[in-house]
Structure 1
Amino acid sequence: MLENREGQAVPQVTFNTRQNNEWVQITSDDLFKGKNVIVFALPGAFTPTCSSTHLPRYNELAQVFAENGIDDIICLSVNDPFVMDAWAGDQSAENISMLPDGNGDFSRGMGMLVNKADLGFGDRSWRYSMLVRDGVIEKMFIEPDVPGDPFEVSDADTMLNYLNPEAQPPKRITLIGKPGCSHCTRAKAALNERGLKFEEITVGSHGVSLATLHAVSGRGTTPQIFIEGEHVGGADELEAWLAAQ
Structure 2
Amino acid sequence: MAQPTSLPNQEGKKVPDVTWPVRSGDEWKKMSSKEIFSGRRVILFSLPGAFTPTCSSTHLPRYNQLASTFKKLGIDEVCCMSVNDTFVMNAWLADQEAENITVIPDGNGEFTHGMEMLVDKGDIGFGKRSWRYSMVVDDGVVEKMFIEPNIPGDPFEVSDADTMLAYLSPGAKAPEEVSLFTKPGCPFCAKAKVMLKDSGYDFEEIVLGTQATLASLKAVSGRDTVPQIFIGGKHIGGSEELEAYLKSV
TM-score (norm 2): 0.88
Q: How does 1:1-245 map to 2 (within 5 A)?
A: 1-206=6-211, 208-245=212-249
Q: Report how far residue 182 of structure 1 moved.
A: 4.0
Range that drifts further, 48-57 or 37-46: 48-57
Going from structure 1 to structure 2, the CA distance change for 1:30 and 1:173 (only over 3 Å counts) comes to same
Q: Report how far residue 168 of structure 1 moved.
A: 4.6
Distance 1:113 1:239 in 2: 51
Going from structure 1 to structure 2, the CA distance change for 1:200 and 1:110 (only over 3 Å counts) comes to same
Distance 1:155 1:30 in 2: 25
Q: Give a deviation string over 1:183-238, Cα, whole Å, max 9, x none.
A: 333322322333422101123334x3333323322333332211011111222211
Going from structure 1 to structure 2, the CA distance change for 1:25 and 1:187 (only over 3 Å counts) comes to closer
Distance 2:106 2:163 in 1: 24
Distance 1:156 1:131 in 2: 12
Give the AA of the match of 2:103.
M
Distance 1:25 1:147 in 2: 35
Listed as ranges, the gaps of 5+ residues in structure 1 are: none
Q: Report how far residue 131 of structure 1 moved.
A: 0.9
Range that drifts further, 101-110 or 208-217: 208-217
Distance 1:211 1:140 in 2: 47
TM-score (norm 1): 0.89
Q: CA RMSD in A?
A: 2.1
Number of matched pairs? 244
Going from structure 1 to structure 2, the CA distance change for 1:238 and 1:17 (only over 3 Å counts) comes to same
